Chains A and B, each alone.
Chain A
Amino acid sequence: MSWFSKEPEQQQGPDKVEMAKTEVEMMTDLYNKMVDSCFSKCIANMKEGDLSVGEMSCVDRCVHKYLSAQEVVGSKTKEMEASMMPNGPQGGS
């Protein structure tokens, strides 16, 4: 029991933290996959150890496009999930 804490942390604390944790995990996972995909799409040769100008702009476009694609697939997935359970969402995230 902590009588010196200012806020009531017991009630809804863990849920929020768990949600934030999951979010961070999802983000890193997404990021790693994106980097890997953009590497395979944008890097044509290993003549140099640095990114060429062309590769740099490819990476820029790739990141933007990958994240847009993620949104498209995400909203489509939500739609499908919603139509699959007509009784209303139950704890889906």
Chain B
Amino acid sequence: MTSLGELSVREQAELMKHVDELQAKDGVKTFHNVVYRCYDHCVASLRSSKLDAKEVACLQRCQNKYMRLHQRAGLRFQEYQQQRNAPTPT
């Protein structure tokens, strides 16, 4: 893994700019994933083209759940990386 310390200030700035761009794209990707998963989960019947109240409520709960999971996974992900990178104590 490349560490930020190896990069010059200017290189770090370039990388950070890229990270910002990536985050914007990432938000869009996550949004599409939410729609895909939640549609899949909450919409079973296609007898009507309109979402009924139940489906809307389900979609909202689903979206919330997805974001919660996203956050929690982020914490665990960081922990895992830290454990990996930490020098093993003897």
Query: Taking beta carbons and an 8 Å cutoff, which residues of A are in contact with B?
Result: 5, 7, 9, 13, 16-17, 19-21, 23-25, 28, 31-32, 34-36, 38-40, 42-43, 46-51, 55-56, 59-60, 62-64, 67
Number of A-B contacts (CB under 8 A): 101
Chain A interface secondary structure, helix, strand, loop or mixed? helix
Contact with A along B42-75 (1 / 0, CB 8 A): 1000000000000000101110111011101110
Contact A13 B11 (CB under 8 A): yes
Question: What A residues does B80 contact at CB under 8 A?
Answer: 63-64, 67
Q: Which of A7, A9, A17, A50 touches B68 (beta carbons < 8 Å)?
A: A50
With A20-B2, A23-B1 known as contacts, the answer to whether A35 contacts B73 (CB < 8 A) is: yes
Q: Interface size for chain B: under 10, 10 to 19, 20 to 34, or 35 or more residues?
A: 35 or more
- What residues of chain B lie closer than 8 Å to A50, measured between beta carbons? 64-65, 68
Instruction: Name which of A5, A36, A50, A56 has the most chain B CB atoms within 10 A of its CB.
Output: A36
Inter-subunit contact A20/B61 (CB<8 Å)? no
Per the bound structure, the CA–CA distance linking A32 and B73 in Å amounts to 10
- Which residues of B are found within 8 Å of A62, using beta-carbon distances? 73
